[in-house]
Amino acid sequence: MQLTRQQIIEYLQTNRVATSIEMSRALQVTAANIRHHLQILKSAGLVEEVGSETGRSRGRPTLLYSLTENALKHNLDGLSSALLKALLANSPNISESLNRIAVELSGDFQLAANMHTRLNQAVERLNELQYQAAWEASPNGPRLIFRNCPYALILNEHPELCHLDAELLAVLLERPYRQTVKLERLPEGAPHCSFIAR
């Protein structure tokens, strides 16, 4: 990454919120140069405008900038992987453990009597969990499509998470599901997974 942009990110990691003028003074770079780099960081999804200050000078309000969630360093993938590894290593029955996790992820999901309503509610819950899910009718019964894998960062290390998805569907829809497609590319280029009732 370009040096000034890296310095802006480091400054915002320390100060959380700042104006271009504050960053300009701290980094000893012109405010126009800072604004140029902020625009690049904004388009990359690393910085966002979080408000404005009025009254500092005449003209437009001064914008406040902060890092986005994408730019904040974290180790959630490492932590998740370690926790999952420890849980499954101490579990005599991996399927049972995955089912318990699925029940926990389902939250306070209430089953509807009507299957169509139940499928819509399941998709809503799955989307709250970041699956970008949808369902469609198929000759073999409803097919659920996931256009996002919320576990993509650790999936290679933990392929059992695909079984967790099937368990989650079983909990939400009260019937067993099996995976028929794993991260296959759609015509528009996005990978997806699909599941169908057994």
pLDDT, tens digit (0-9, with 9 covering 90-100), for 128-161: 998 989 999 999 899 999 988 888 878 888 899 9
How many C-beta neighbours within 10 Å does residue 158 have?
A: 16
Q: Where a domain ends, among 46, 67, 88?
A: 67
Range of the domain at 29: 3-67
Residue that terminates a domain, selected from 67, 100, 123: 67
Picking from 67, 97, 118, the residue at the C-terminal end of a domain is: 67
Task: List pLDDT tens digits, range 21-58.
Answer: 999 999 999 999 999 999 999 988 889 998 887 765 66
> Do both 148 and 97 map to the same domain?
yes
- Residues 38, 99: one domain? no
Lookup: tokens for 21: 């003028």
Band (pLDDT 50/70/90 cuts) for residue 189 is low
pTM (predicted TM-score): 0.64
Distances (CA, A) of 100 to 85, 87, 93, 168, 182: 15, 11, 11, 9, 23
pLDDT band at 20 (very low <50, low <70, confident <90, very high): very high
Query: Residue 158 contacts by C-beta under 8 Å, 6 or more apart in sequence?
Result: 81, 84, 85, 151
Going by pLDDT thresholds of 50, 70 and 90, the confidence category of residue 186 is low
The answer on 81 and 33 residing in a single domain is no
Domain count along the chain: 2
Whether 124 and 156 map to the same domain: the answer is: yes
